[in-house]
């Protein structure tokens, strides 16, 4: 996609044939750097503010307020935190392996950054629509393990080493259910290309892979949980393990190098959610608009459609981000053996069953037939039941304390999240 854009730019601006012009590759290179910068800016503008959002949400869940002093309602808190890290001394332990220690944060960040090559943001907003997009995504994720292991080992610190080894064990284990769960999507879409997977779905919920059949429904939750585990977020933050390993693999890091780890961790929150929404939630598909309309439009209409698809995609991904954030502040950290049990005894068999089930249904159930619609209906019903139970339990938990609070404090307990203290 970038290549054809570069060719068109050369054709339009210089009026020479891009195939014979000797400097076409320079334009290609320039465009690549430009797109990489755009992706970097996007990560920065996502990873920064989302830390503030997460801390505000976490605060309310703990009956606190969260940061609300830097800027209006604390929206600039992330800038203050980032600037603080710039000003910290860059410490490297004397006994550490200097080069490895210096290099590790960039490897971790590079691993996350590389996923942005194939992550689509809109109908045509993608750096490169690789034919092996999903495989590439899973593969570059491996860089992160090496980076974390390198950081932990080169620190020459027991806590850091434990963190690094744990991380390696965890990521290697969870790659398997994660890959199998995404395999179901590949089977259903018939392609590994990210854009192809999105195009195989539709804009309306019943056209999403999430609700295509019950096996894909289960695979979505397996994939999401495995992604959370791979990104070292609570409840799978064993490599960091604040209460047992101090800070795990990055215990010796400070200043800017520490910031790169954090940057990667929060940027990865987007990668998880974007992957989830591409694979299962129909990605950038706008309800009621076919992908051909999006691509076929020209001029201002093209820009408008691209923006609209971008907004739809960001909305879906943000919903998943909110869910992952809530998950973090709800569940306690698993023990190492529990983490392994969850993976090998539950996730791997379940994921295999899902793959087999999707295969059988693909062969046995004709697309668009009555059984196909029944399967979609059953999945949506299951989701509706889950949501209903969730809402009911939430209401019950709130009502259980409401009257007591009013009697003891003389105030109403009701204080919805949109009221900002």
Partner 1 sequence: MGWLRNVERSVLSILDGLAVTLSWTFRRPVTLQYPDKLEQRTQDALPPGYRGILEVDLRLCTGCLLCEKTCPIACIDVAVEKNAAGGRDLTRFDIDISRCMYCGLCSEPCPSGAIAHSAEFEATAASIDDLTLHFVRSPVPVARPKASETIERAPRGSILKDVIKGYGRRPGPAPRAAEPIPTPAVEPAATAPAAEPSATEKEPTP
Helix (H, G, I), strand (E, B) or coil at 99: helix
Check residue 201 and report its DSSP letter: S
Check residue 351 and report its DSSP letter: H
By C-beta, is 367 or 412 nearer to partner 1?
Answer: 412
Distance CA 379, CA 236 (A): 28
Sole binder of partner 1 in the list 8, 16, 64, 301 (CB under 8 A): 64
Residue 80 CB, shortest distance to partner 1, in Å, is: 18
Residue 61 CB, shortest distance to partner 1, in Å, is: 5
Residue 413 CB, shortest distance to partner 1, in Å, is: 5
Sole binder of partner 1 in the list 45, 331, 356, 371 (CB under 8 A): 331
Residue 190 C-beta-side C-alpha neighbours within 13 Å: 5
Q: Per CB under 8 A, which of residues 3..32 are in contact with partner 1?
A: none
Check residue 298 and report its DSSP letter: -
- Give the burial class of 309: count Cβ atoms within 10 A of its Cβ; 0-12 exposed, 13-18 middle, 19 or more buried: buried
Distance CA 178, CA 347 (A): 9
Decide if residue 338 touches partner 1 (CB under 8 A). Answer: no
By C-beta, is 8 or 392 nearer to partner 1?
Answer: 392
Residue 31 CB, shortest distance to partner 1, in Å, is: 43
By C-beta, is 42 or 221 nearer to partner 1?
Answer: 221
Sole binder of partner 1 in the list 128, 256, 327, 340 (CB under 8 A): 327
Q: Per CB under 8 A, which of residues 38..57 are in contact with partner 1?
A: 57
Helix (H, G, I), strand (E, B) or coil at 86: helix
By C-beta, is 172 or 389 nearer to partner 1?
Answer: 389
Residue 60 CB, shortest distance to partner 1, in Å, is: 4
Helix (H, G, I), strand (E, B) or coil at 58: helix
By C-beta, is 5 or 327 nearer to partner 1?
Answer: 327
Closest by CA to 6, choosing from 32, 43, 36, is 32
By C-beta, is 337 or 412 nearer to partner 1?
Answer: 412
Q: For residue 134, what are its two tokens?
A: 């999903």
- Report residue 335: phi and psi, to 5°: -80, 165
Q: Which stretch binds partner 1 (CB under 8 A): 21-29, 173-181, 323-331, 356-364?
A: 323-331
Q: Output the 3-class SS for 96-144.
A: CCHHHHHHHHHHHHHHHHHHHHCCCCCCCCCCCCCCCHHHHHHHHHHHH
Closest by CA to 354, choosing from 268, 229, 225, 170, is 225
Residue 52 CB, shortest distance to partner 1, in Å, is: 16
By C-beta, is 23 or 414 nearer to partner 1?
Answer: 414
By C-beta, is 87 or 397 nearer to partner 1?
Answer: 397
Q: Per CB under 8 A, which of residues 389..418 are in contact with partner 1?
A: 389-390, 392-398, 401, 405, 409-417
Residues near partner 1 (CB under 8 A), total? 38
Distance CA 336, CA 346 (A): 15
Sole binder of partner 1 in the list 34, 296, 369, 421 (CB under 8 A): 421
State the helix-helix crossing angle for 255-279 and 299-328, rounded to 10 degrees: 110
Q: What angle do CA 222, 225, 231 make, to 5 degrees?
A: 135
Q: Per CB under 8 A, which of residues 371..390 are in contact with partner 1?
A: 386, 389-390
Contact positions vs partner 1 (CB under 8 A): 57, 59-65, 326-327, 329-331, 345-346, 350, 386, 389-390, 392-398, 401, 405, 409-417, 421
């Amino acid at each position: 996609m970038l290549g054809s854009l570069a060719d068109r730019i050369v054709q339009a601006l210089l009026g020479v044939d891009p195939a014979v012009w000797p400097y076409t590759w320079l334009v290609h290179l320039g465009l690549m750097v430009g797109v990489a910068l755009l992706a970097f800016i996007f990560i920065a503008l996502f990873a920064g503010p989302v830390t503030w959002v997460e801390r505000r949400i976490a605060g309310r869940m703990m009956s606190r307020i969260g940061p609300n002093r830097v800027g209006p309602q604390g929206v600039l808190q992330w800038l203050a935190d980032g600037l603080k890290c710039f000003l910290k001394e860059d410490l490297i332990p004397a006994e550490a392996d200097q080069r490895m220690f210096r290099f590790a944060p960039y490897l971790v960040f590079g691993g996350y950054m590389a996923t942005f090559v194939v992550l689509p943001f809109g109908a045509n907003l993608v750096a490169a629509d690789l034919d092996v997009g999903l495989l590439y995504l899973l593969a570059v994720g491996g860089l992160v393990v090496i980076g974390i292991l390198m950081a932990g080992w080169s620190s020459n610190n027991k806590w850091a080493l434990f963190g690094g080894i744990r991380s390696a064990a965890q990521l290697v284990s969870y790659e398997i259910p994660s890959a199998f769960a995404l395999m179901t999507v590949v089977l259903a879409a018939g392609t590994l290309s990210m854009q192809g997977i999105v195009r195989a779905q539709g804009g309306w919920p019943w056209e999403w892979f999430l609700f295509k059949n019950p096996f894909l429904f289960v695979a979505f939750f397996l994939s999401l949980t495995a992604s959370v585990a791979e990104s070292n977020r609570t409840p799978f933050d064993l490599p960091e393990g604040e209460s047992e390993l101090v800070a795990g693999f990055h215990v010796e890091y400070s200043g800017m190098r520490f910031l790169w780890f954090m940057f990667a961790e929060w940027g990865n929150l987007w990668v998880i959610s974007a992957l989830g929404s591409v694979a299962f939630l129909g990605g950038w598909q706008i309800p009621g608009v076919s992908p051909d309309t999006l691509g076929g439009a020209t001029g201002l209409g093209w820009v408008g459609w691209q923006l609209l698809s971008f907004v739809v995609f960001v909305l879906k991904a943000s919903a998943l981000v909110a869910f992952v954030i809530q998950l973090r502040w709800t569940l306690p950290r698993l023990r190492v053996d529990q983490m392994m049990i969850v993976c090998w005894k539950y996730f791997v068999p379940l994921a295999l069953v899902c793959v087999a089930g999707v295969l059988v249904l693909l062969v046995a159930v004709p697309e668009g037939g009555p059984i196909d619609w029944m399967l979609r209906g059953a999945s949506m019903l299951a989701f509706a039941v889950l949501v209903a139970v969730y809402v009911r339990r939430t209401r019950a938990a709130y009502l259980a304390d409401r009257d007591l609070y009013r009697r003891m404090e003389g105030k109403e307990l009701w204080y919805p999240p949109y009221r900002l203290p």
